[in-house]
Structure 1
Amino acid sequence: MDSASPPAAIRRLGQNFLVDPNIVRKIVALAELSSADTVLEIGPGRGFLTEALCRAAGHITAIEVDPRLHTFLAERTAHLANLTLLLGDALTCSIEHLPIGTIVVANLPYYISTPLLFRLLSQGNRFARMVLMLQNEVADRLIAKPGSSDYGVLSVMAQYSANISKAFKVSPQCFRPRPEVDSAVVLLHALEPRVRHPEAERRFTTLVRAAFAHRRKTLVNSLRNEGYDSKLVETALATLHLPPSLRAETLPLEQFLELARCMEDVT
């Protein structure tokens, strides 16, 4: 491979490179960047979005897992003094050193988008704002409301940490190679971290996952199947004036929080 030619995409790494300049402009505009901003980009790929970010923000840290692309980008972006290019896995690479208020702008690899999103959200207000390209169905799950088929664990846990909106859809034609799914760009504004004991956080997360583990069953039965005492669950629901026949997908975030608190009180 000529050192000046871009490496071919690797399917197993979910590499679909953004090639549409209009979409790049829309992403950068949505991020509302200034020369005072620090940006984290995950999966810079061939650097099309990276170069636009470097023109708009003060400093960019870009994490690339593919050694071939890292080498290609290092040569292509050598003239960009405000870019720090790291070779590493964004799921494990150190991001704790980035300043509070860093803005994340990324075309996330779809096969690891959910764990990456949870890792970013777990950093609290370190990442004040995130503009993320995701698979469209994942974007729909992020913004889903109670009562919809898209509403589930991802909806509750993401909305627990951020205000989320879907900004616009992106056609497969905007990528090379073209993905087999539609994409969407979402905007997330991190909420102030809730003052909760780590053990309470763990119990809340466990409760939400258990509640949706058996979607066709009532909340009581789904939790019972996951090891919860049915009588305790029914008591907590009665305390909250909620019927024992309800299903998890009808319960909004705040009622999940109330249920978790009530479960702690009755145990």
Structure 2
Amino acid sequence: MKEIATPTRTKEIVERYNLKAKKSLGQNFMVDAQLLGKMVDHTGLTERDGVIEVGPGIGALTEQLAKRAKKVIAYEIDQRLLPVLDDTLSSYDNVDIRHEDFLKSDLTQVFKKDFSDVDNVYAAGNLPYYVTTPILMRFLEERLPIETLTVLIQKEVGDRLAAKPSTKAYGSLSIAAQYYAETEVISAVPPQAFMPRPNVDSSIITFRIRKEKAVQVNDEAFFFKCIRASFAQRRKTLRNNLNHWLGDKERVTEALGRSEIDGARRAETLSIQEFGKLADALNS
């Protein structure tokens, strides 16, 4: 049987089940098997490993994951797609579809029970644009025991996640992601790779989870508050943003001096290590 991720097969499935992609759920079905294969290549999956997928849709990526992995657990929130997935993935006995909201699921139990017999666990997904960041940050902030997270997301968001200092895309989201993982944009994905075609370009991006965070800080919550405050008004200097946030010019001046950072710089020029020094100095 033809792979799911082709225009012909996808159209056939959509027509058979009278499916209409829900804009409210950010649904666009991938119809480029070659790009999905490239995506799976970058997960690092082997036949001894497990994988969590978010948003399987009609099973295009799930199929590619199932060919490589020992076990696939896929979270699908749209009840209409459950019979479709039962059909399209019927030949794969290593796939477990969960009709759950991934953001509310008990992942501790999943790792403890469902993945007890695998070597490593990976994560992947063609993520709905409207919940991309919450899904990514759940994987990263909860320090889930995954090796890599490989996702298909809106290009603009991917650029921000992988951005380096002194670039237009670099901001608090870049630092949040890179604090937990090494990020790499694998491939651009044009609108014609989907059905229906979205109005935006997409990217495949991989997060290689760090064994240790990019910088050690005394207070993680304060560190992220400091970053958000520093980027509050991008055109303003670091000193001005911090003064506005804390309302204590003396404290800000002293912290900038101790961390050896010029307060006339803008937040987008600071590395994650410099933000670590600055946050600790401000919070000491």
Task: Provide the TM-score with structure 1 as the length reference.
Answer: 0.92
Cα distance in 2 for residues equivalent to 1:145 and 1:177: 32
1:186 pairs with 2:205: yes
Q: Structure 2 residue aligned with 1:73, among 70, 85, 89?
A: 85
Instruction: Write out aligned runs for 1:163-174 (5 A).
Output: 163-174=182-193
Query: Which residue matches 1:264?
Result: 283
After the TM superposition, which residues 38-77 of structure 1 pair with which residues of structure 2 at under 5 Å, given as runs? 38-77=50-89
1:116-138 deviations in whole A, cap 9, x for unaligned? Answer: 11111013251211111111111
Partner of residue 216, structure 1: 235
Q: Which runs of 5+ in 2 are unaligned?
A: 1-12
**Aligned residues, how many?**
264
User: Retained in 2: the 8 A contact 1:3–1:72?
Assistant: no
Does residue 1:119 correspond to 2:131, yes or no? no
Per-residue deviation, residues 157-204 of structure 1 (Å, max 9, x unmatched):
11110001111101110000101111010111101244968x811111
Structure 1 unmatched runs, 5+:
none
Letter in 1 for 2:73: T
Q: Which amino acid aligns with 2:170?
A: Y
Shift of 1:90: 1.7
Letter of the structure 2 residue corresponding to residue 171 of structure 1? P
Matched to 2:132, the amino acid is: S
Aligned to 1:235, the other structure's residue is in SS state helix
Alpha carbons of 1:234 and 1:46: their partners in 2 closer, same or farther (altered >3 Å)? same
In 2, the alpha carbon distance for the partners of 1:127 and 1:229 equals 41
Residue 150 (str. 1) matches residue 162 (str. 2): no
| Matching residue's letter, 1:152 | G
Secondary structure of residue in 1 paired with 2:176: helix
Match of 1:161 among 180, 187, 192: 180
Q: Quick one: structure 1 residues 228 and 160, their matched pair in 2 at CA, closer, same or farther if it must change by over 3 Å?
A: farther
Residue 76 of structure 1: how far off its partner (Å):
2.9
CA deviation map 1:186-226 (0-9, x unaligned): 111101244968x8111111111111111111112112222
Any idea what SS the aligned residue of 1:46 has?
coil
Change (3 A) 1:240 1:71: same
* 1:254 and 2:273 matched: yes
1:20 paired residue number = 32
* Matching residue of 1:109: 128
Q: 2:8 matched to which residue of 1?
A: none
TM-score (norm 2): 0.87
How far off is 1:228 after superposition? 4.6
Identity of aligned residues (%): 36
The one-letter code sitting in structure 2 at the alignment partner of 1:56 is R
Q: Tell me the distance in 1 between the aligned counterparts of 2:255 and 2:32.
A: 52
